[in-house]
Structure 1
């Protein structure tokens, strides 16, 4: 039951990778011109705005990874003889469904 959590953890991990690529390393990703970029027309303004926009999403990604870790420990508790209960299983199903919908929607907008 914990395999879907491992796959689901790839979504917030991807958000963290995008923070590095599109936030911290923005001048290396987009060579310009920055006339139509957020924070443009200068490279410094575009970098600062992309970095500041990425920060809340990075915090959300880290929070999601933390919650997935808590859910994993609740689900894996059955291996140590603890009672798992219904709520962690329902949370697993709901979060996996939401992750699938998010990935499908994201791939369609590419």
Structure 2
């Protein structure tokens, strides 16, 4: 119940916000053998508390950093998009009376502003306020597993985590189509 008000929730959201630009930066770095793995491990350690042992240097390490960048970037983008969208739903529904249209007669819960605000505030605002931290946690669990597997020394379950990450990114992309058409 308190999950939206915990520091860990907002650290996860900060990770999701930073993971996209850092991932974009790390893709070319990984391709030229730069410190992409170290940067990604540092980001995960700082915001998610993930400890991934440095796997050392070598050609395989470079290839794994490239693979992490290629697989992680779409997942990071989808995680940020979904989380950002959910937090926006929270704000616009809790702040329903501040909407510029001002006429609640045709809104759900109308014809009064109190009824419309109750329906939107509870149905869209409070429910998404409680759900969003758990959605973000799910995304960051997969991202942490990818960091440990691709950029750390622990490869157990990497194929499963990669499959889940790719499937999750595809499902989110497909589910975003109707939302995009509403814009």
TM-score tier (shorter):
0.7 to 0.9
In 2, the alpha carbon distance for the partners of 1:8 and 1:59 equals 20
Say what the alpha-carbon RMSD is for the aligned residues: 1.6
Note if contact 2:110-2:116 (Cα within 8 Å) is conserved in structure 1: yes
* 1:36-77 residue CA offsets vs partner (Å, 9 max, x unmatched): 111111112111110111122333322111011110110000
Q: Which of 100, 103, 106 lines up with 2:176 in the alignment?
A: 103
Give the drift of 1:94.
0.9
SS in 2 for 1:86: helix
TM-score (norm 2): 0.55
Shift in Å at residue 30 of structure 1? Answer: 4.4
Quote the offset at 1:12 in angstroms: 2.3
Distance 1:70 1:26 in 2: 33
Gaps of 5+ in 1: none
Task: Tell me if structure 2 keeps the 8 A contact 1:71–1:88.
Answer: yes
CA–CA separation in structure 1 for the residues paired with 2:135 and 2:182: 23
SS at the partner of 1:2? Answer: helix
What are the ranges of 5 or more consecutive residues in structure 2 without an aligned counterpart?
1-70
Aligned length: 109
Task: Compute the displacement of 1:100 (Å).
Answer: 0.5
- Residues 1:62 and 1:51: Cα distance change in structure 2 (over 3 Å): same
- TM-score, normalized by length of structure 1? 0.87
After superposing on structure 2, the runs of 4+ consecutive aligned residues of structure 1 that deviate more than 6 Å are none
Corresponding position of 1:66: 137
Cα distance between partner residues in 2 of 1:39 and 1:105: 24
